[in-house]
Amino acid sequence: MKYRFAVGMKVELEVERENEKYNFLTKVEEIKDKTILLGMPMYRGNYFFLNVDEEVFIFYCVNDLYYGVKGKVIAKSYLPFPVIEVELLGEPKRIQRRSFFRIPVTIKIKIKKLDSNHWDIAYIKNISGGGALINTHLGFDKGEILEMQIPIENEIYEIKAKVVRVIKDNMRLIYPFEVAVEYWDIPERIRDKIIKFIMEEQRKLRKKGYY
């Protein structure tokens, strides 16, 4: 069984709770026979604690090829730093589309409600070919459709997106809403442009030792 993990490799960890998916970037700390140790994922500046026996999905990239494998948390440790031990379940699967893979970014965008003519400033926190995580001062409802203007490669793309999760941080005075969205009825030409941008940014991060 060849997973092709490497110590220090950045991976994306997906967790589903109450029909909502949470995605985190973390890295491989240690590789064992049928398990790997991953850094405890961070969420809004704090550790996101996973439960023993909780199922996760791990996405990772090897030589620009993308794979996913299902796993189960079997142990946790907090010293010398928080990690989870994940049992790998089954063979890794090659993922044909690269739309799942997200990278951390800071992109200034314009955003508005579908029935409004007023554009507001917001910031993309991370982005993938399937959606984005946005910090905004606007409150949205889950399931609501919004519009975004995203600058990529000297062009501005107007994209509709569906809100899948909204969290308000009452400690933040500026852009207190964290809004997770999935692109809605996006032309494949624009999706491909976003994926190309992500791949280029990932290569830059890899050169700096982040991937």
Reported as a pLDDT band with limits 50, 70 and 90, residue 208 is low
Q: What is the pLDDT of residue 12?
A: 86
Instruction: Give the C-alpha separation, 43 to 49, whole Å.
Output: 9
What confidence category does residue 29 fall into, taking pLDDT thresholds of 50, 70 and 90? very high
Band the pLDDT of 195: cuts 50, 70, 90: confident
Burial of 136 (0-12, 13-18, 19+ CB in 10 A): buried
Q: For position 133, what pLDDT does the model report?
A: 93
d(CA 21, CA 15): 6
Judged against a pLDDT cut of 90, whether residue 36 lies above it is answered with yes
What is the pLDDT at residue 172?
83
Is the predicted pLDDT of residue 67 greater than 90, yes or no? no
Give the count of alpha carbons within 13 A of 14, CB side only: 14
Per-residue pLDDT for 211 more than 60?
A: no
Range 97-113 average pLDDT: 82
Select the more confidently predicted residue: 95 or 138.
Answer: 138
pTM above 0.75, yes or no: no
pLDDT of residue 200: 81
pLDDT, position 1: 44
Report pLDDT digits (tens) over 140-187. 999 999 999 999 988 999 999 999 999 898 888 899 999 999 999 899
Tell me how far apart the alpha carbons of residues 19 and 45 are, in angstroms, rounded to a whole number. 23
Give residue-wise pLDDT tens across range 69-87.
Answer: 999 999 999 888 899 999 9
